[in-house]
Amino acid sequence: AEPPFLFAYSSKRSWVQSKQMYTLSAYVKSNGILDGMEGLLTEVIRAQRFGFTQTELDRQKTTFLRGLEKQYSEKDKTESGTYKWDYKENFLKGTSIPSIDYIYQVSDSLLAGITLEDLNEMSKKLISDNNRVITASSPENKDIIIPTKFDLAGIFNKVISSDISAYVDAVSNEPLVSSLNDPGNIVSEEIHASINVTEWTLNNGIKVVLKPTDFKNDEILFYAHSPGGTSLVDNEDFMAAQTAADIIGESGIGNFNKIKLDKMLSDKIVKVSPWLSELDEGLSGNASPKDQETMFQLIYQYFISPRSDETAYMAYKSRMEGWIENRNARPENVFRDSIQVTKAQHHFRARPWTMEVLQEMGLEKSYEIFKDRFSDAGDFTFFFVGNFDLNEMKILVETYLGSLPGTGRNETWRDVGMEMPAGIVENSVKKGVEPKSMVHLSFNGKFNWSRENHHLLNSLESVMEIKLREIMREDMGGTYGVWMWTNPQHYPREKYEFNIVFGCSPENVDTLTKALFSQIDSVQTYGIDIDYVSKVQEKQKQSREVDLKENQFWLDKISACYFHGINPEKILDYDDLVNDLSVLRIQKAAKDYLNIENYVKVVLYPEVLD
């Protein structure tokens, strides 16, 4: 059956500083307010009539303590920003700021004394027939019927008088992996001593790249990829491929559906997520060191036993339908869609989400595509960064990754022919009634891919961002901000995008756009003051000093080096790139990458009202 709501949640929070409230909320599809409310209230009444189960309480205690345990283990490496909320509450409300040692000790003691009766009694106090407010909101749409207060009250009476059965907390005692293929073995090893990185090649073809660190006590990150991705499927199967990883992720693995899997993992800190992109497919995730074997078991099962679950698929499709229904009511979404199709020249694979496009997905085809993309692990490269021991990892790698099938399939991605238009292309979108506009400019062209050019392009972005914010926001006062990002691509063809976005009032679009192009012309013709280059260099060096102590940084940089065929030890040469920046190099980059004869411009305006 179709779920009554897209998603729901409950929370206990402050309404204003002197008042607290307990909230039950559900997001529903159009004309689904009454069904959603009925579904929400049914679970409330079920809990009040029968109470929660002991296994639910035990699981929640374990999950809560496991989260505190992670904080406790990281107490000597907690980032400063974490404390800002404690200071805020202390300043505004006079609350204490206990140490994590105290919190962990007291929580452990208090949780042990909380009984099922305590929990069920608290539930009845939080959800009562008194002091209750019901609100329902909906987009303005002539096809949507808004229920009256009598309709809402009627749902209460209907649910209260209905026959509701007790919830059964089904928990599986099965192991996550019931049987394993024969383990593999490491056939070669390469050491990158300067960055403490070890590379193993397994007999099934898998490469494993590892960097043990002590940046975090309770963190292991991983990323894995293989060439191919959605580029290898036909257009008619594209939407099934595009949604395959999400659908499989919602379905679970092996004999565990998503709900049973979440319960099984409730006492662990571990996450593994499959994904498919245009050029490759893979997995990513993280784990606490004590849960690293579970991480490997999840990886193994996504290759060996991905699950096809009709119930999960229908729930996913229902959520997508609810999201699509009203997305075009937001001007920003229509604007983004217009940018997407304009830049892609209305390519089949760049179509915005619509109900018609959604019908092209299908559980059977998504499962088939996922199985195919993960059928050969032999061309996968895995990257692990974090607090682990190489000897322990060797056992896990050979046991779980070494036992994956490696068929020797030799493949790579395919160029699907998505090209940005040549010359100057301008488009405007009229949507919404607020007197505000957005301007999106995308310069593009061929790119000679290298670390040096990549860094230079990013540095040009930083310089221009400082310059344009000074002129357009501070001097002209015409915008709250100017945002930029670059997208240099190595595969399937070397090309780049340089995107500039700003918001302003509709009457200032032309003035600010002219000022923007004037600044581009100035940098191209006269260069930029050395102070701007120095600011960028200083910021890059400061950021790098922090980044070098972050697991995520090393995971991103090492995997990028392998993806682009660069020696990962080059990561340490970053200061050379920064020091090589100069006014002349930025000026040349502006000429190369901000070609005023080759860009896409899309502007959002409000609709003209009669």
Task: State yes or no: pLDDT of 421 exceeds 90.
Answer: yes
- Amino acid 588: pLDDT: 98
- Lowest mean pLDDT of 5-9, 447-451, 567-571, name the range: 5-9
- Amino acid 14: pLDDT: 78
DSSP SS3 for 305: coil
Cβ–Cβ < 8 Å for 272, 324: no
Task: State yes or no: pLDDT of 349 exceeds 70.
Answer: yes
Beta-bridged to residue 430, according to DSSP, are 605
Q: What is the pLDDT of residues 62-74, one digit of tens each?
A: 999 999 999 999 9
Strand order in the sheet with 599-605: 424-430, 599-605, 437-446, 495-504, 482-486
pTM: 0.94
- Amino acid 365: pLDDT: 97
Task: State yes or no: pLDDT of 276 exceeds 80.
Answer: yes
pLDDT mean over 139-157: 88
DSSP SS3 for 591: helix
- Amino acid 141: pLDDT: 81
Task: State yes or no: pLDDT of 242 exceeds 60.
Answer: yes
CA dihedral 555, 557, 559, 561 (to 10 degrees): -160
Q: In the structure, what pLDDT confidence band is assigned to residue 125 with cuts at 50, 70 and 90?
A: confident
DSSP states along 308-366: --HHHHHHHHHHHHHHHHHHTTSHHHHHHHHHHHHHTTT-GGGPPP-HHHHTT--HHHH
The first and second tokens of residue 589, run together, are 């980059």
Q: Which residues contact 185 (CB under 8 A, 6 or more apart)?
A: 202, 203, 398, 402
pLDDT mean over 446-452: 96
Q: In the structure, what pLDDT confidence band is assigned to residue 93 with cuts at 50, 70 and 90?
A: confident
pLDDT mean over 5-18: 84
Task: State yes or no: pLDDT of 457 exceeds 80.
Answer: yes
Which DSSP state fits 53?
-
Cβ–Cβ < 8 Å for 243, 366: yes
Of the candidates 221, 110, 207, the residue with the CA atom closest to the CA atom of residue 551: 221
Q: What are the backbone angles phi and psi of residue 106, rounded to the nearest 5°?
A: -70, -40
Q: In the structure, what pLDDT confidence band is assigned to residue 143 with cuts at 50, 70 and 90?
A: confident
Domains and CATH numbers, the chain: 7-160 (3.30.830.10), 186-401 (3.30.830.10), 424-605 (3.30.830.10)
Percent of the chain with pLDDT over 70: 99
- Amino acid 79: pLDDT: 85
Cβ–Cβ < 8 Å for 571, 385: no
- Amino acid 81: pLDDT: 84
Task: State yes or no: pLDDT of 16 exceeds 90.
Answer: no
Q: What is the pLDDT of residues 362-414, one digit of tens each?
A: 999 999 999 999 999 999 999 999 999 999 999 999 999 999 999 888 899 99
Query: What is the average pLDDT value for the chain, to the nearest integer?
Result: 94
Please classify residue 261 by burial: count the beta carbons closer than 10 Å to its beta carbon, then call 0-12 exposed, 13-18 middle and 19+ buried: buried
Task: State yes or no: pLDDT of 262 exceeds 70.
Answer: yes
Q: In the structure, what pLDDT confidence band is assigned to residue 1 with cuts at 50, 70 and 90?
A: low
Q: What is the pLDDT of residues 568-604, one digit of tens each?
A: 999 999 999 999 999 999 999 999 999 999 999 999 9
Cβ–Cβ < 8 Å for 362, 240: yes
CA dihedral 583, 587, 593, 595 (to 10 degrees): 160
Of the candidates 274, 271, 270, the residue with the CA atom closest to the CA atom of residue 283: 274
- Amino acid 20: pLDDT: 84
Looking at per-residue pLDDT, the higher value among 293 and 92 belongs to: 293
- Lowest mean pLDDT of 115-119, 121-125, 193-197, name the range: 121-125
Cβ–Cβ < 8 Å for 367, 316: no
Which DSSP state fits 471?
I
- Amino acid 609: pLDDT: 46
- Amino acid 610: pLDDT: 44
pLDDT mean over 1-25: 84
Looking at per-residue pLDDT, the higher value among 139 and 490 belongs to: 490
